[in-house]
Amino acid sequence: MNLRYIIPISAIIVLSACKKEDPRAIPEDLEDKKEFVRNMQKEQREIGRLIDTVEAQILALDPSSAPELKLIDTIHLQYADLAHYVEIQGRVVAKDMGIASSEIGGRLLSVNGDEGEYVRKGQLLATVDVETINKQIEEVNTSLQLAQQTYDRQERLWSQKIGSEIQFLQAKNQVERLEQSLETLKFQLTKANVYSPISGKIDMMLKEAGEVAGPGEPIVRILDVSNLRTEIDVPENYLTTIKRGQTVRVALPAVEEEFDARVVLIGNSIDAGSRTYKIETNIPSRSPNVKPNLLATMKLNDETAEDVISIPVNLVQQEVSGKDYVYILDQSDDVAVAKKKYIETGITYDGKVAILSGLLPEDILITEGALGLSPDENVKLVTK
């Protein structure tokens, strides 16, 4: 055999032998891979126990080499109800709103009041120029005098059987028609003054003195701020949840007020576009800062976990496998040790989560310092 072939073949054999003898080489076969993982895990446990033994020997020979314990704080647990709320936005509305307007058209001689001023029902708010009506009354009076004279003459002639009956009736009708016109004009004079239809605060001055207002055109808008309500558009899926007379929690974030309110009205129809229906609640607050169109938030209790342990949600940690766990304190044998405990969680609200299983009232939950702990790690309690 040629020597130049012997050397490469020998090298291949040596390399193959080395590859088979390498315990760290990852096998290709699936079953071999599983066996490889089991061997590595066994080796890891043995190395861990060996390290613990050596560390204990070092600590016995040199106590100053003990690692610094992590500082922790704890809380005690107890059973309680955890309520979940859904928050729905709405607004504050004035239930009673009045519009002061003139029944006759004309130029406004005066407009009384300022925005925000409180007015009483029947208070004078504006006056309308009725000079045109006065002139019409003068013209009608003049025509009425002539018509009355004509009627008197026709009545005398008709009593003497002179003239025709139709002339007498026309003269009479003319007098009656003018009298009715005069009565209408005089009634219009009583509408020269514009009064407040309700008691409340002036929300907006829509006209000023000197401007012309048409019949029925708004001049002043008044809101009854003593009867404020919240108006909220609720999604239709809560239709069976909210009942009239039910108590809900209402917050007014802008003025930092929160109170229990009673549902006083439930709408009878669903909005086809938004798929919501309207509800109204009373506002027991009498704060001067509560004003119409203020943003309101209704907190509706849609679910409650009764008699459960609830903990801050940020204390719940999760393994790669998806299991949730927390750390509790074990102080047996006068040594503080962090114990890993698996839990099952429920509803979450306002930074708290309900624990359905895994924790008991006698457990001491590690709060501060819980992140970064290892199972069975020695710790130091900050406060008792």
Q: For position 346, what pLDDT does the model report?
A: 92
Q: Is residue 350 part of a domain?
A: yes
Q: For position 1, what pLDDT does the model report?
A: 45
Q: Is residue 5 part of a domain?
A: no
Q: For position 381, what pLDDT does the model report?
A: 77
Domain, as residue range, for 147: 104-222
Cα 308 from chain centroid?
27
Write out the chain's pLDDT in tens, 384 residues: 444 444 454 544 444 544 455 667 888 888 888 888 898 888 888 887 888 788 778 777 776 665 677 777 888 899 999 988 888 999 998 887 888 888 887 888 888 888 888 888 888 888 888 878 888 888 888 888 888 888 888 888 778 777 777 887 888 888 888 888 888 888 877 788 888 888 888 888 888 888 888 888 898 988 887 788 899 999 998 888 888 988 888 989 888 888 888 999 999 899 999 999 999 998 886 677 888 889 999 988 888 899 999 999 999 999 888 899 999 988 876 778 888 999 999 999 989 999 999 999 999 898 888 888 888 888 877 765
Residues 256 and 312 grouped into a single domain: no
Residues 108 and 121 grouped into a single domain: yes
Residues 150 and 217 grouped into a single domain: yes
Residues 111 and 201 grouped into a single domain: yes
Q: For position 326, what pLDDT does the model report?
A: 93
The domain boundary residue, chosen from 239, 273, 303: 303
HEC states along the chain? CCHHHHHHHHHHHHHHHHHHHCCCCCCCCHHHHHHHHHHHHHHHHHHHHHHHHHHHHHHHHCHHHCCCCEEECEEECCEEEEEEEEEEEEEEEECCEEEEECCCCEEEEEECCCCCCEECCCCEEEEECCHHHHHHHHHHHHHHHHHHHHHHHHHHHHHCCCCCHHHHHHHHHHHHHHHHHHHHHHHHHCCCEEECCCCEEEEEECCCCCCEECCCCEEEEEECCCCEEEEEEEEHHHCCCCCCCCEEEEEEHHHCEEEEEEEEEECCCCCCCCCEEEEEEECCCCCCCCCCCCEEEEEEEEEEEEEEEEEEHHHCEECCCCCEEEEEEECHHHCCEEEEEEEEEEEEECCEEEEEECCCCCCEEECCCCCCCCCCEEEEECCC
Residues 160 and 263 grouped into a single domain: no
The domain boundary residue, chosen from 195, 222, 249: 222
Q: For position 334, what pLDDT does the model report?
A: 72
Residues 261 and 217 grouped into a single domain: no
Cα within 13 Å of Cα(366), Cβ side: 31
Q: Is residue 142 part of a domain?
A: yes
CATH number at residue 157: 2.40.50.100
Q: How many domains does the chain have?
A: 4
Residues 113 and 145 grouped into a single domain: yes
Q: Is residue 11 part of a domain?
A: no
CATH number at residue 324: 2.40.420.20
Residues 287 and 315 grouped into a single domain: no
Q: For position 11, what pLDDT does the model report?
A: 47
pTM above 0.95, yes or no: no
Q: Is residue 3 part of a domain?
A: no
Q: Is residue 15 part of a domain?
A: no
Residues 125 and 189 grouped into a single domain: yes
Residues 209 and 125 grouped into a single domain: yes
Q: Is residue 14 part of a domain?
A: no
Residues 91 and 235 grouped into a single domain: yes
Q: Is residue 265 part of a domain?
A: yes
The domain boundary residue, chosen from 162, 194, 222: 222
Residues 241 and 141 grouped into a single domain: no
Q: For position 102, what pLDDT does the model report?
A: 85
Q: Are strands 70-72 and 377-381 parallel, antiparallel or unpaired?
A: parallel
